[in-house]
Structure 1
Amino acid sequence: MSLALLWIPATIAASLLQTARNLTQRSLTDIIGVVGATQVRFLFGLPFALLFLVLVCLVAARLPPGIDGKVLAFALGGALAQIAATALMLAAMRTHSFAVTTAYTKTEPVQVAIFGALLLGDPLGWGKFAAIIVATIGVIVVSWKPGQKLTAAGMRPAVLGIGSGAFFALSAIGFRGAIQALPEGGFFIRATTILALGLTLQTVLLTLYMLVANRPALVLSLRNWRRSLSAGFLGAAASQCWFIGFSLTSAANVRTLALIEVPLAQIASRRIFAEGTSRRELVGMALIVLGVGALLLLAIS
């Protein structure tokens, strides 16, 4: 496989790891609340990110690339957006099914394609944009139930999920911008450096917030350290794979391929939470697969 196509297996691995992490975080929301479960992926993920960076530096026999103001600004923007996205996603999961919430968050690719083109100058041809639209329509088909009334209560999960997707889009752009802004180094060490930087910023910000505003949730996350550690490792490993993808191709390509997470979430919901899958949801997942497949053909050709 060409090195340029390494983003494909990296993104698939990231989607698998993220699905497992979301399941773990969802189980923690009932114990330590939304903010506590949000904080877990960062606080307990940071040690693994630092370990990844040490190993990469040892293998490469070099120090991490230097971090300047531009890199820090992009990384901070990505870090803050990811915190907001994770909190909104977990809040939506408390009111709606795991699979449907995941689908709402995956309205992200259209937003990330536009943000990427505007902010980073990532190329976006009509073919790729059409593939993204088809996959996103599949997400909408999966998410929307026939006859669903537009009540405030009924719209709340959709607003939370789509808002989460928007912040995930901004997060992807921020972290890709930070990786690109690093002055030197190969794709692997640049991706791992930004992973460690991003998780450090997120851990400091959320821990300080929780010490002031929600100390009991912080204490509960430490008491439930086994489950929290699992979520942290899965989150750090998923982010490592995401960042490898961001270092090799546009965020739009990565996030569109990541829509395979929607069928994965459907499988998880059916097996773990006994949440069934309707014909409409199967049609939506087929559209997602079609859009993702078209994107891959365009990326490979």
Structure 2
Amino acid sequence: MTLSYLWIPATLAAAAAQTGRNATQRQLTKTIGTVGATQVRFLYGFPFAILALALVRLALGEPIPSPNATFLVYVLGGASTQISATALMLSAMRERSLSVVTAYTKTEPVQVALFGLLILGDPLTLGMAFAIVIATLGVIIMSLKREADLMSSGLRPVVYGIASGAFFALAAIGFRGAILALPEGSTLMRSTTTLVWGLGTQTVILLVWLELFDRKALVASFKAWRPSLGAGFLGALASQFWFIGFALTTAANVRTLALVEVLMAQAVSHRLLSQVTTRRELVGMGLILVGVGLLLAFQH
């Protein structure tokens, strides 16, 4: 496998780690609230990112790239929009199942393809656009309840989920832009450096926010350090692989292949939460697989 195709296993690894992190954070919302559960992935993930950068520095013998103004702007944009996206996603998860909320947020690929074209000039061919639409259609079909009533649990979780997808799209573009803005370093070094800056920025933002507006949630997140540590590790691991993918190909490619996370979330819901997979969800999953398969085919 050539280096350019390493984004495929990197994305699959990221999706698997993120599925585990989402499930862990969902449980934390019950004890420390939405904002508290949002910040643990950053606060507890930051030390793991620093460790990863130290190991990469030691293994590769490369200097750590110095940030420039463009890099910092992209990092700040990616960090702030990802915080908003995560908070919206966890809010929706309090009202809908993990697999359904994941489906709403995964309307993201269409948006990330457009943002990537407009902001970064990432290529978007007709074939790629068709594959993205097919896979996203599968997500939409999966999000329907068995009674075909989208609003059966209210409009709010739907809005939260779709808005979360939009912010995740902007975050993906921001972090890919930051990686590309670094003038030197290998793929692994630039992606890991961006990870440290991103998680560091997010940690500072959320610590200040919680100290000012929700000190109770901040204290609760420290008390719940054991499950929070697990969420932080899985979050940092997922982000590391996401960033490697962003360094190797367009964010649209990465986030479309990442739709396999919907299938992973469905498996988690089925096994751990005793939720039944409907025929409509099976059709949606089939379309996701077709869309992802077409996307990979168009890479040749």
Q: Do they superpose with TM above 0.5?
A: yes
Instruction: Determine whether 1:180 maps to 2:174.
Output: no
**Residue matched to 2:268:** 268
**Residue matched to 1:90:** 90
Displacement, 1:144? Answer: 1.9
* Contact 2:144-2:280 at 8 Å conserved across structures: no
* Contact 2:88-2:163 at 8 Å conserved across structures: yes
**Paired residue secondary structure (2:157):** helix
State the one-letter code of the partner of 1:114.
L
**Residue matched to 2:205:** 205
Instruction: Determine whether 1:148 maps to 2:149.
Output: yes
Displacement, 1:148? Answer: 1.4
Q: CA RMSD in A?
A: 1.0
Displacement, 1:63? Answer: 2.0
**Residue matched to 1:165:** 165
Structure 1 runs (4+) deviating above 4 angstroms are none
**Residue matched to 2:214:** 214
Displacement, 1:150? Answer: 4.7
Change (3 A) 1:204 1:149: closer
Structure 2 portions without partners, runs of 5+: none
| Counterpart mapping for 1:14-53 below 5 A | 14-53=14-53
Displacement, 1:111? Answer: 0.1
CA distance, structure 2, for counterparts of residue 293 and residue 154 of structure 1: 34
**Paired residue secondary structure (1:154):** coil
**Residue matched to 2:191:** 191
Instruction: Determine whether 1:244 maps to 2:257.
Output: no
* Contact 2:92-2:157 at 8 Å conserved across structures: yes
**Residue matched to 1:285:** 285
Structure 1 portions without partners, runs of 5+: none
Displacement, 1:140? Answer: 0.5
**Residue matched to 1:13:** 13
The superposition leaves residues 72-121 of structure 1 with CA deviations (integer Å, 9 ceiling, x where unpaired) of 00000000000000000000000111110000000000000000011001
**Residue matched to 1:72:** 72
Displacement, 1:62? Answer: 2.4
Change (3 A) 1:27 1:59: same
Q: How many matched pairs?
A: 299
* Contact 2:36-2:218 at 8 Å conserved across structures: yes
CA distance, structure 2, for counterparts of residue 297 and residue 16 of structure 1: 22
The superposition leaves residues 173-232 of structure 1 with CA deviations (integer Å, 9 ceiling, x where unpaired) of 000000000011111100000000000000000001101111111111111111000000
* Contact 2:76-2:198 at 8 Å conserved across structures: yes
The superposition leaves residues 8-67 of structure 1 with CA deviations (integer Å, 9 ceiling, x where unpaired) of 000000000000000000000000000000000000000000000011111121221110
Change (3 A) 1:66 1:283: same
**Residue matched to 1:294:** 294
CA distance, structure 2, for counterparts of residue 116 and residue 147 of structure 1: 33
State the one-letter code of the partner of 1:216.
K
CA distance, structure 2, for counterparts of residue 229 and residue 16 of structure 1: 17
Displacement, 1:124? Answer: 0.4
CA distance, structure 2, for counterparts of residue 63 and residue 100 of structure 1: 43
State the one-letter code of the partner of 2:11.
T
CA distance, structure 1, for counterparts of residue 264 and residue 2 of structure 2: 27
Instruction: Determine whether 1:55 maps to 2:55.
Output: yes
State the one-letter code of the partner of 1:295.
L
